[in-house]
Structure 1
Amino acid sequence: MLSGLLLILVLLPLIGITVNGAFQHQITQSINNQLRAYVYSVLAVAEVKDEHVVMPNYLLENQFNVIGSGLYALISSEDKLVWHSESFLGLDLPTNQSTALLLPAPPMGQGQLTQVRFDDLAGNSNNNHVVYSFSVSFETNETPLAITVHIVKDDADYQQQVSEFSTTLWTWLIVLMIVLALVQAIWLFWTLKPLNQFTKELALVEQGQQTRLNQHYPNELNAVAKQLNVLLNTEQLQRQRYRNALADLAHSLKTPLAVLQSQTDLSPDSKEQANNINNIISYQLNKAKSSANQAWHLGVSIDDVASKLIRTLAKIYQQSHIDIDYQAPAKLVFKGEEADLHELLGNLLDNACKAAKTQVCLSVTKTDSSLNFIIEDDGNGLTEVQRQNIFERGIRADTYNQGHGIGLAIVQDLVNSYQGELTVAQSEQYGGAKFTVTFRH
């Protein structure tokens, strides 16, 4: 829209300037031809006697005979006025200090069109006049007599024509610019409407509010919409088959492990290894459930997941009098699966509740480039060594302060699967640990 409007604002004024200039040039040429014809009419009746110009009392063009008619004929020789028409009575041409006429004197046999301003005898200033001067030479018995004929015409008519034409031209150009801008706006709105609808539907799919593109689009976009719908359907089916396969695997391994663990003749080491196998299978299954790379179009309400977790944890830790503070803007969306967000926040909040004395805080912030989850507590915090080792596999909660470490390896893998970042620091506000999860977008 801006590029089209810029084209209109540049192109039409350039056309106006060009047309207006062409019209002024045409008017100038017309005046030049008209005044040249008057010069020839004056020269036709001019005579030279005794090296003096002799003119009839009345000229054929009646405007030369009417005082103040606006059309005047002058003849000068050697920068001195030697004759003027009756219409010039009461006017005085400008002269320099030596009383030489300030009128052009073109080369012999050539004409020149200029402008001049002169005063009347009372000193009142008149408007500009156009002057066409033409130099000729009369042959006499002794020496040739060089004279210049000046035809002076009031340029008020000329200026009025130019002004009227310019006003009309620019008025219609402005009207045309407005009409073209409106037509362009309507045309662009109509032609780009499918693209706007396409963008809105993609946003709805990305937010999880719909699973496919439902609108009918023009041929240029219809193929793209069909391919996207095929991609979305295929991705959903693949995720569903993946989940079903994982559920079948977990179910098929559950019974043999249960039978193995129920054997009474197993040694303590064997039972421990069976428990380890069970934990490893659970861990790997939970890790495999994360499908972040295929869930670009999903949208999960953070408020819904966080509120459920806080209510559940508040009941679990009711005896410990743990206060969980939740701070987040409304309608924030996590672009991923609900199970992943539930496991991520659940592990971090559960660890924080176990480590806290009385206060846990979950803060969610969003910027133009990231979504941030901040979990803080007022516990004893973590040492520098514990911060470095806390995400290592095999580290258990009882190897350092109670509450940190349980499920953190799973949390780390979940964050990595979404190309996020998990950092641990000391909470400035509460004094305990501060876990920050950042997802870039």
Structure 2
Amino acid sequence: MTTLKSKLMINLKRLPTLMHSLKARLIVSAMLLSLVLIPIVGLTLNDAFKLQVKSASVKELKAYVYSILAVTEVDDQQLFMPEVLLENQFNVIQSGLYALITIPESLQQTLTSTSDHQQDSSFDAKFVGPETIKPARDAIIAEQQVTAGTKVAWRSNSLLGIDLTSAITTAVHTDPAFPQPEKGQGQFSEIILNGEPHLVYGFSASFETQQVDKQGDEQITRFPVTVYIIKDQSDYQLQVNEFNQQLWRWLLILMVALLSIQMLWLWWTLKPLTRLQNELAAIENGKADHLNDNYPTELSTVAKQLNTLLNTEQNQRKRYRNALADLAHSLKTPLAVIQSQKDLSKQSFEQISHINRIIGHQLKRAQSAAGSAWHLGVEVVEVSDKLVRNLPKIYCQPAITITEDVDRAAIFKGDASDLTEILGNLLDNACKAAASRVLLTVKTVDSSLVIGIEDDGKGIDEALHAQIFERGIRADSYQQGHGIGLAIVRDLVDSYQGQLIVSRSTTLGGAKFELRFKA
């Protein structure tokens, strides 16, 4: 758990750095676009489908209402309904499709009292023959009140065994559970019936009949009814669930496909940038000296300008070095003539020699490529191997053994001649000071190039560690060396913004020079 937490913290710390990358920004943007847009589309389609299915259900319920009204008859303030309806689901007990008709309570009282009077032989004779239509007064159930001020006057056979008053537990979207639409209007609702969701559509109508009173005047009597069609939502929910499964399955496939296409598209779009980065790294490591020209329009101008800058810098450095070489050559001859004078005093000869060393030292500094080291690079092993092979031939009395521990992939971000000058001077001084052994180590530590040169000589007094880098100071513990060579090394290391540290070798016991350069 601790390891996971530490990894998470490391990733969170790296997040601001990653967001500086254009590639990371584009990838995150593409992922957010897919992960946000596609679910929004899915929810929108889901809602639209629900509305469409609900609209189709409402239309279906309306059709059932009209079919019920088509077979409903009112005569003498009595409601007549057929025993069997054309839609068979109304005839099957608890089929999931139900119908009921309500009337106002005031009308029911009139209807009840009237119906008690009219139960005579003439009324029954009126409906002889097949019993397809019968009075609905026997279906009036006073204790079932589905809406305020109304009573159930008729209900389909499918509602047998269902107590509407106790079965209706809650309204899903509307209150009351059974809507009370205005005359000629319909209203949609959802209820819970016997623990299952049901759709309800109510429609109010009024039957009008003309009657002649005792005085011979025509009177219009109205018989208001509200027809309710109740349908189980199982079919509706089944359609929605199947659509949801199909929708989200295909949206998930679409999301994966879209993300894959976006990743491929980003890879293809950013490929020139990756190639430019690799070519710049090759130039930085000294493996190339210019960029290719085959880039898209937006990058071709940048590549051309970089090539122009590289060529200009290389030509300028070349001219600068040639001019310095010419200057050194022009000064060498007059100094040689002066040194050849026989009457030249010893003091003057030493001063002329000192002038020669100063000129050589300053020429080495001026020729350093540290200022343009970003596009230079050389494998350290290429320089170190040559020096290790040649120096033992020079220091053969006594024999000096130079041991290498070199990372073969280590790169020095600079000019090969500068690295040769640095390693050459330090190895030369180590061979002069060593008794028999010199150790050269090259490794990369924390993105830094670390070069160590150790010997088994007497070493350098700790009091002189800081002083030997000052101009004109040399280590007395060395019989020779550490004069102009060490000054050149120090100036070259400084020009590359490196570090030169002097200490005592824990391995060989002599002096140790350690160089550190940023990789």
The superposition leaves residues 255-297 of structure 1 with CA deviations (integer Å, 9 ceiling, x where unpaired) of 2111111111112211121111111111111221212102321
User: Alpha carbons of 1:102 and 1:183: their partners in 2 closer, same or farther (altered >3 Å)?
Assistant: closer
Separation (CA, whole Å) in 1 of partners of 2:438 and 2:73: 115
Structure 1: gaps (5+ residues)? 120-127
Q: How has the CA–CA distance of structure 1 residues 138 and 232 changed in structure 2, closer, same or farther, with 3 Å as cutoff? A: closer
Amino acid at match of 2:451: F
1:306 shift after superposition: 0.5
How large is the RMSD of aligned CA atoms in angstroms? 3.2
Indicate conservation of the 8 Å contact 1:352/1:404, yes or no.
no
Partner of residue 156, structure 2: 85
Does the 8 Å CA contact 1:350/1:403 hold for their aligned counterparts? Answer: no
In the alignment, what sits opposite 1:174?
252
Distance of 1:326 and 1:75 partners within structure 2: 105
How far residue 95 of structure 1 moved from its aligned partner, in angstroms, is: 6.3
**What CA distance in whole angstroms lies between the structure 2 residues aligned with 1:420 and 1:6?**
44
Q: Secondary structure of 1:327's match?
A: strand
Corresponding position: 1:376 with 2:454? yes
Greater shift in the superposed pair: 158-167 or 305-314: 158-167
After superposition, the Cα gap between the structure-2 partners of 1:363 and 1:93, relative to the gap in structure 1 and judged at 3 Å, is farther
The separation in 2 between residues aligned to 1:437 and 1:288, in whole angstroms, is: 21
Residue 137 of structure 2: aligned partner: none
> Aligned equivalents of 2:355 and 2:188: distance in 1?
110
The answer for the alignment partner of 2:198 in structure 1 is: 130
Q: Could you tell me which residue of structure 2 aligns to residue 109 of structure 1?
A: 181
Provide closer, same or farther for how the CA distance between residues 117 and 351 of structure 1 changes in structure 2, counting only shifts above 3 A: farther
Q: Does 1:290 align with 2:368?
A: yes
Distance 1:415 1:46, change over 3 A: farther
| 1:275 counterpart = 2:339 | no
Q: How is 1:133-282 mapped onto 2 (pairs within 5 angstroms)?
A: 134=202, 150-282=228-360
Q: Decide whether aligned partners of structure 1 residues 416 and 46 sit closer, same or farther in structure 2, where only a CA change above 3 A counts.
A: farther
Residues 1:94 and 1:309: Cα distance change in structure 2 (over 3 Å): farther
Trace 1:258-407 onto structure 2 (pairs within 5 A): 258-397=336-475, 399-402=476-479, 405-406=482-483, 407=485
The answer on 1:34 being equivalent to 2:106 is: no
8 Å CA contact 1:373–1:437 kept in 2: the answer is yes
Q: Is the 8 A contact 1:95 1:101 kept in 2?
A: yes
Q: Offset of 1:433 from its aligned partner?
A: 2.1
> What residue is the counterpart of 2:33 in the other structure?
7
State the alpha-carbon separation in 2 of the partners of residues 102 and 81 from structure 1: 18
Q: Partners in 1 of 2:300 and 2:518 — Cα distance?
A: 31
Please report how far the alpha carbon of residue 46 of structure 1 lies from its aligned counterpart in structure 2 after TM superposition.
Answer: 6.8
Letter in 2 for 1:15: V
Pairwise CA distance, 1:436: 1.6
Gap change, CA 1:408 and 1:145, over 3 Å in 2: farther
Q: Report the secondary structure of 1:22's partner residue.
A: helix
Structure 1 residue matching 2:231: 3-state secondary structure: strand
Partner residue in 2 for 1:122: none
Corresponding position: 1:118 with 2:174: no
Question: Judging changes above 3 Å, is the alpha-carbon distance between structure 1 residues 263 and 12 closer, same or farther for their aligned structure 2 residues?
Answer: same
Q: In structure 1, what is the Cα distance between the partners aligned to 2:343 and 2:169?
A: 133
**What letter corresponds to residue 299 of structure 2 in structure 1?**
L
Does structure 1 retain, via aligned residues, the 8 Å contact 2:168–2:193? no
**1:26-64: CA deviation from partner (whole Å, max 9, x where unpaired):** 3223323432453465466275999x9764323354432
2:508 to 430, 433, 438: 430
CA separation of 1:409 and 1:437: change in aligned 2, threshold 3 A? same
Distance 2:325 2:424 in 1: 21
- Superposition deviation, residue 101 in structure 1: 5.1
Is 1:18 aligned with 2:85? no
How many percent of aligned residue pairs carry the same amino acid? 51
Letter in 2 for 1:131: L
TM-score scaled to structure 1, two decimals?
0.84
Measure the CA separation in 2 of the matches of 1:184 and 1:133: 49
Shift of 1:315: 2.2
